[in-house]
Each structure stands twice: as C-alpha cells, then as structure tokens.
Amino acid sequence: MPLTDTAIRNAKPGETPFKISDGGGLHLIVKPNGARLWRMAYRFAGKQKTLALGAYPAVSLQKARNERENARKLLADGVDPSVKKRRDRLTAKLSANTTLKSVALEWLDNRRQAINSDYADAILRRLETDIFPALGTRPIADIDAQELLQVLRRVEKRGALEQVRKLRQTVGQVVRYAILTGRARHDFTTALNGALRPKGRERHHTAMSREDLPAFLRALDTYDGDPRTAIALRLVVLTMTRTTELRASQWSEFENLDGSEPLWRIPAQRMKMKTEHLVPLPPQAVNALQELRALPGSNNSPCLFPSPSREGFMSNNTMLFGLYRLGYHSRATVHGFRGLASTILNEMGFNSDWIERQLAHDERDQVRGAYNAAQYLPGRRAMLQHWAEWLDEAKRSNKTTARDVRQAAE
C-alpha cells in the first residue's frame, strides 16, 4: 500500500529500526532516534543494492517518488544510479573549486612541504599581485591563452621580464595540476611560446668589487642605521651564507659559542637544498653574535633578528637597503658576497671542494656521492678562520689581493 504523509508522521520509532514501503523499491527507514530515511532497493548487474535518497521531511514523499522514477530510468539505460550519484557529487565538489585562484592555492599548499617557505611565499605574492586580480575568480577551464597574454603584457610594460617568465611558468604548473585533478582539459599556457618578450641576457647577483671591500668593511663599523643590520651584513660576509639562512636564524641553532669549536647548525627546511648545513664560526663571527646578543630586546626572542612583521624576523630587503644606505646601490648585492668570497678563496689556493661545501652547493651526484652536512668540517673551519683574518687585514691595510694582504700582515 502506498505511503501517505499522515502515515509517515504517525510512524512511531521502536527499539530497533524498521521500514515501511511505498512500492517500486522505495521505502522509509524509521530509526529509534526518530530519523526517517528514504531508501530505494534495486538490482544491478545481478547484485542487490540500495540507493540513499535523503531524509524526511527535507526530502518530501513526492520528491522521493520522483527520485525513484529517475533511478528506474537510469536502470533502464543500463546505468547504476548509486554510481551516477557519486559521480555527480564529485563533479559538484570539483565545480565549487575550479577558479584559477582556488586551484592555485590548492596546488601551492600541496607543494609547501617540498619547497622553501620563502620561495612558496614569493610564488603567492606574484600570483596575488598580477594574476589573481585579473583572472583569480574565473573558472580555470574557461581561461584562454589570449586572456593570460593580456595580463602578462601589463607586467612586461613594467619592464619586469623575469617576473613575466616566472608568472607564465607558475600558471602553467597550476593549469597542469588542474588537468590532473579533472578541472581543466588542456594547457593553454603552451600557446604563449614565442609571444612574450625575451628577458635578455641573464644578470647574475652583482658582487662588490674587491677594491671596494676594505672601505665597505670600515663603513660597517660606523653604520648609522639599525646595528642589527650592520651585524647581519658582517655575518653574511664572514660565513658565506645566504640571506634567507641568516635572517631567519634562531639562537638555538648555535652551539659551543664559548668553546674552541663554535658551530652554527642551519636546519634543512631553511636550506635551498633541503639538507642540514653546518657552518664553523671564526672568532670574528662569535664576537658579532655576542654584540647582537647584547642589544636591547635580543634576550626576549628566539630569533637573532626579531621583527614585528608577519614572519617575525628580519625582512628580505633589510640588508639590501643597508647596502643602499652605505652607498652601494646598483654596485653590489648581499648575495654577491658569496661569489666574491669564493673567488678570493680559490685564488688563495684553498680546496675547491671545501669552498663549494661551505657555499652549500648541491654535490649529490654519482661522482661526489652523499650530501654530508659535516663534510670537510675541519678544513672549512681553518678556511673560514683564514678568511676572517684576511678580511681584518684588508680592512686595516686597504690591500685586496692575497699576496698584498699577506705582505701587509708581515
């Protein structure tokens, strides 16, 4: 006998679930807690199956009957209604997350475990600055090459050709992720081959000239800005580390500062190659750390260079602006000190493997073998000690070749 709304409302819950039938496989399960759930029993491919149709009264009697008829039509066409429902649910879920912005944020979130956090933040800033305002709310499958080209042309007009290259590369990675997750069908970024202006000859990080180095070192001693910036610049020169490795450093990373073999242990997550890096510290670097520790507020933060910024430590441009303040705008970059140190130490005749290892360059290949954090540590300690002493003598004597400094010291 077909159900009525009155019969459904009058069905009293029992101690165990029971069902009342409407016919054609449609029935209502009445649970002990009073819930009333629509179900449809059917057979497909020789197997007995059940299709969930929702709960009464949210799904009315008439709507449940309509769903039953729709299911019977699917069965007549050889389609399993349960499978069709799951697919429809997945499609609806994906369609709610198909904008370029939502896909890009999902892609970046998946990558964060494998890349440097600063690099991930830089990718996000590029997208937020140039891509999301124009295309972020558009379904990624609807965007075409011409639309992306218009956005990239605006960046080209700013002269930021390297930024254009990175944006196109990032959007391409996002699109390919969308294809893999069923939210796009083709990579429209490939159509931009040859359409963008070439970035021209690559410009490497500008290294300070060795002739300018003595004057720079003396200028650091009288720096009139934040003393933390001057100390950070001194430490970069002394340790040959990257700015990212230094500015986010914490006091807990430094060991045996009062002993004979002080050491800075940089964790893997902050290294470009995702491998722990050990930096032996010469006395000059230890003295710089002690000066830093004595500054007001240094004992109240785990960071060497605390800042009220979102990151909580020195910003990416602080040391660069320090160079500008000292008069080295367009004449040097902070990263360039690594190349300068490498050049001079090679001229001094130090083992090239020690130098490369101190620079934390990737040596994981079949010839060099495993990437060992402590590799060449005694030699690197002696090398950095010699480098620190060379810098002191260069600052004093104004000599900048290995031979001239050695003669001045004698």
pLDDT in tens, the chain (410 residues): 789 999 999 999 999 999 999 999 999 999 999 999 999 999 998 899 999 999 999 999 999 999 999 999 999 999 999 999 888 777 666 555 789 999 999 999 998 877 777 788 889 988 998 999 999 988 998 899 999 999 999 888 877 788 888 899 999 999 999 999 888 889 999 888 878 776 554 444 678 888 999 999 999 999 999 999 999 999 999 999 999 899 999 999 999 999 999 999 999 888 877 788 999 999 999 999 999 999 987 778 899 999 887 788 998 789 999 999 999 888 888 989 998 999 899 888 889 889 988 998 754 443 333 445 567 899 999 999 999 999 999 999 887 765 544 444 43
**Which residue ranges does the chain devote to CATH 1.10.150.130?**
100-192
List the catalytic residues: 242, 272, 335, 338, 361, 371
Contact assessment for residue 135 and residue 188, using Cβ atoms and an 8 Å cutoff: no
> Could you tell me the pTM of the whole model?
0.52
Per-position DSSP letters for 222-260, written without gaps between them: T--S-HHHHHHHHHHHHH---HHHHHT-BGGGEE-TTSS
Please give the Cα distance from 52 to 66 (Å, whole number).
13
Q: Which helix (H) or strand (E) holds 363?
A: none
CATH 3.30.160.390 residue ranges of the chain are 5-94
- Write down the pLDDT at residue 409: 40
DSSP assignments along 294-340, one per residue: HSTTGGG-SBSSB-SSSSSB--TTHHHHHHHHTT-TTT--STHHHHH
Q: Which of 395, 400, 393 shows the shortest CA–CA distance to 343?
A: 400
Topology (CATH) of 5-94:
Double Stranded RNA Binding Domain (3.30.160)
Task: For residue 225, give every residue at least 6 positions away whose Cβ sits within 8 Å of its Cβ, in sequence order, or none.
Answer: 322, 325
| Domain 100-192 CATH superfamily | Tyrosine recombinase, N-terminal domain (1.10.150.130)
Type and span of the H or E element at 391: helix 377-397
User: Length of the chain, please?
Assistant: 410
DSSP-derived secondary structure for 166-211: HHHHHHHHHHHHHHHTTS-SS-GGGGGTTTSPP--SPPPPPPPPTT
CB atoms within 10 A of CB 114: 8
Q: Which fold has domain 213-409?
A: hpI Integrase; Chain A (1.10.443)
Q: What DSSP character marks residue 112?
A: T
Over the Cα atoms of the chain, what is R_g?
A: 33
pLDDT of 95 reads 57
Q: Does residue 85 contact residue 70 with C-beta atoms inside 8 Å?
A: no
pLDDT of residue 399: 78
Q: Is the separation of the CB atoms in 208 and 331 below 8 Å? A: yes
* Among candidate residues 35, 9, 25, 34, the one with its CA nearest the CA of residue 70: 25
- Nearest alpha-carbon partner for 54 in 80, 28, 93, 17: 28
Q: Which of 326, 350, 310 is nearest to 234 (CA)?
A: 326
- How many CA atoms are closer than 13 Å to the CA of 270, on its beta-carbon side? 16
- Orientation angle between helical segments 227-239 and 283-294, nearest 10 degrees: 160
Distances (CA, A) of 112 to 105, 106, 270: 11, 10, 12
